[in-house]
Structure formats: C-alpha cells, structure tokens
Structure 1
Amino acid sequence: MADVKIAADVREEFGKGASRRIRVENKVPAVIYGHGTDPVHVTLPGHETMLALKSANVLITLSFGGREELVIPKAVQRDAIRGHLVHLDLLLVKRGEKVTVEVPLHTEGELAPGGGLLEVLLAALPVEAEATHIPEAVTVSVAGLEPGATVLAKDVQLPKGTTLAVDEDTAVLQVVQPQAEEPAAEGGEAGEESAATA
C-alpha cells in the first residue's frame, strides 16, 4: 500500500470563513482523531494531499506540532462541481493495529458468451487489516460466469492478514440476463383499443 509523508500546520482558526481562506491558499482543512485523544485541527497542502488520495486507504505519516503520527483518510469531502478537496477526516492508527476499511473491488476476465450483464453490488469490500498493510484493492475473476451466477464476499481472495468485515454470504456481484425489450407497437395498439373502448 502507498505510504506518504505530509507536513501539516496546526490551525487555531475555525468556521466557514477560516476554511474558505485556507482553500483559497490551495490548502485543505482537516481534523485528526482517534485513540481517545482530543481532535486536532490541521491544514494540509492541497496538491500533495490530492496526489496522496489517488491511492485508496493511503497511509500518511503526518508531521505537525513537532510530532509525527500515522493516519488514514476516514472521510473525504470534495466540491460537487469542481471536485477539489473541501475537508478531510483523518484517523490516527498505529503499526500493528487492525483497522476496518473499504477496499475497492476490481473485476477481471470475460463473462461466458451468451450476453449476460455484470451487475456490481459492492464497489468496495469492507475488510479488517493491519493499518500498515491495507490492500489498495481486491480483484475478482468473472471469467466464464453465466447469467444467474453470484459471487459472494467469501469467494473473494483476500491478501494474507486481511479478513472480511462483512457477512461472508453478502453478494458482491452477479451476472444477470438482459431483459428482452417488448415491441413498442404493442403498447401503442393497446392504448388505441382502450381509447376506442372508452
């Protein structure tokens, strides 16, 4: 998994006005919490943080206030239109500690010939992993699956040390038979008949 270092500034100003000023400077307001400690409000460099978040569940070594802490992103708020970062919630973690996260689910392979459609029910799989060994993604093979096939959480191959944090019988994806479209003319005729009857 990705591991990056970012220098942060502890911030004393709060509220919408302060957050707006921070974002104008291409920085991101964030809060660090966890392990029963009081939340710490910090400011992160915008560009570095954007690059770090390209990796899911990135492990960040954050230096602030004369100390270093390991954190992982727990909630990321982005601007709905422009997509830039608005605010981050960062969770304190320690090496060797187990954390529950959602890992992106990727598929590989071709479905069986016959026109089945792949329906992804869980885009990310909840798992428990050691904080410094969170997988960036898990991959499921759909090769040869036919309509009616379902892949359950327990069928997903997880890296060593990673366990499911969801019921093992949870469906993560399925192959469905495409519905045949009914000719539009039939509906039109039925409508004309009912109109004539009325």
Structure 2
Amino acid sequence: MAEVKITAESRTEFGKGAARRLRREDKVPGVVYGHGSQPVHITLPHHALLLALRTPNVLLSLDIDGKNELAIPKAVQRDALRQGILEHVDLLLVNRGEKVTVEVVVETEGDLAPGSFLVENVLNTLSVEAEATHIPTSVTVSIAGLEGGDAIHAKDVTLPAGTTLVTDPDAVVIQILAAQAEEPAAESAEDQGAEA
C-alpha cells in the first residue's frame, strides 16, 4: 500500500467562482471528513494529487496547515471532456489500524483450456474490508485451464492476509463462455439465380 505525502491548505471560499479560481492556480478543491468531525474544506496541488490517484486506493498523508491526517479518496470528480483534469475530491479520514471498506480491481492471469472460449468479467471490482494502511491495490484471479460454462465466484477469490470479502460470496466474478460459431447467411434468391 502506497502512502503519499501531500501538503494541503484549508480554504474559506466556496462556490463555482472560487473553485474556478483555484483550478486556474493549478489547485483542486476538496473536502476531508470522517470520525464524526466537521468537514474541512481544503485545496490540494493538482499535479501531486493526479499522480497520487494513479495508485488505486492510495493512502494520503495530508499536511493541512501543519496538522497531519491520513485519508483515502472516497469520490473523485474529473472534467467530463478532459479526463486529466480533476474538478473536486472527497477524502475520508482514517486511522492506522482502522478497518475500511473499499473497492479493489480484479485482474486475471493464465490461459484458458484449448478451444474457442471468451472471458466475461462480470465484476471488475470486489468490495473488501482491510486495514487502512494495508489496502490491496488489486486481486488476481487465475483462469488457467477453465472451459466454457466455468465460473469463478467471489468466495473463490484468494484475498491478501488481513482482507475480508464484503461482496456477496456467491456473486459471479468471472465466467467463461463458449464462443458461438456464426451460422452461414442464407443464400438470397439473386445469388441462387446467378449460380444457375
């Protein structure tokens, strides 16, 4: 689990105009909340935050006006047209040792059994509970040797130590489908007449 240090500043101006001014200054408006405390409105450096968010479920060590806090991203709003531009971020305060529920990406490895099969990722993420400083970035599922009709359920996925499954254990994560051969198109009357 990556822990990234970012310096943030508290802010007192709100609204669209203030948010636009911050974005012009290459900063991202955000809110930090959790543990029953009042939400704190902050600004974060755009580039540093963008780099940090490349790691799924990154743990942010925030220096907010000299006070150190740990937080994880809860909601990230991006510009609809320019995906590299962050509009706003909601951060959830966490403590070391505290358990949090997060979504982790499901990755596949291995080769299917010989034949024409398709892999369908029914779930791209699993909801898990993990200690805030040990959140897995992803879980890997082996599809080696699987054939059409086989399925992997959430309960079959091996999770890292200290991580527990929150998703329904019987939920299908990956299923293997037999590729269906396309039926030859029926010859039209014109084609049959041309052959004659």
TM-score normalised by structure 1 residue count: 0.91
Looking at structure 2, the residues matched to 87 and 113 of structure 1 have their Cα atoms a distance apart, in angstroms, of 47
**Letter aligned with residue 45 of structure 2:** P
CA RMSD of aligned residues (A): 1.2
SS in structure 2 at match of 1:19: helix
Looking at structure 2, the residues matched to 160 and 12 of structure 1 have their Cα atoms a distance apart, in angstroms, of 42
SS in structure 1 at match of 2:186: helix
**Letter aligned with residue 89 of structure 2:** L
Gapped runs of 5+ residues in structure 1? 190-198
Deviation at 1:182? 3.2
Looking at structure 2, the residues matched to 98 and 136 of structure 1 have their Cα atoms a distance apart, in angstroms, of 15
Structure-2 residue corresponding to 1:159: 160
Instruction: Give the alignment of 1:74-153 within 5 angstroms.
Output: 74-83=74-83, 84-153=85-154
Structure-2 residue corresponding to 1:6: 6
Looking at structure 1, the residues matched to 186 and 72 of structure 2 have their Cα atoms a distance apart, in angstroms, of 56
Deviation at 1:179? 2.7
TM-score normalised by structure 2 residue count: 0.92
Looking at structure 2, the residues matched to 24 and 115 of structure 1 have their Cα atoms a distance apart, in angstroms, of 52
SS in structure 1 at match of 2:47: helix
Aligned length: 188
Looking at structure 1, the residues matched to 123 and 28 of structure 2 have their Cα atoms a distance apart, in angstroms, of 30
SS in structure 2 at match of 1:122: coil
Q: Is 1:48–2:26 an aligned residue pair? A: no
In structure 2, the CA distance between the partners of 1:184 and 1:15, relative to structure 1 (3 Å rule), is: farther
Deviation at 1:56? 0.3
Deviation at 1:37? 0.8
Structure-1 residue corresponding to 2:63: 63
**Letter aligned with residue 144 of structure 1:** G
Superposed CA deviations along residues 105-164 of structure 1, whole A, max 9, x for unmatched, are 111011111111000011111000000000111100011110101000111111110000
Deviation at 1:82? 0.9
Farther off after superposition, 19-28 or 127-136: 19-28
Gapped runs of 5+ residues in structure 2? 190-196
Deviation at 1:80? 1.8
Looking at structure 2, the residues matched to 11 and 185 of structure 1 have their Cα atoms a distance apart, in angstroms, of 69
Deviation at 1:184? 3.6
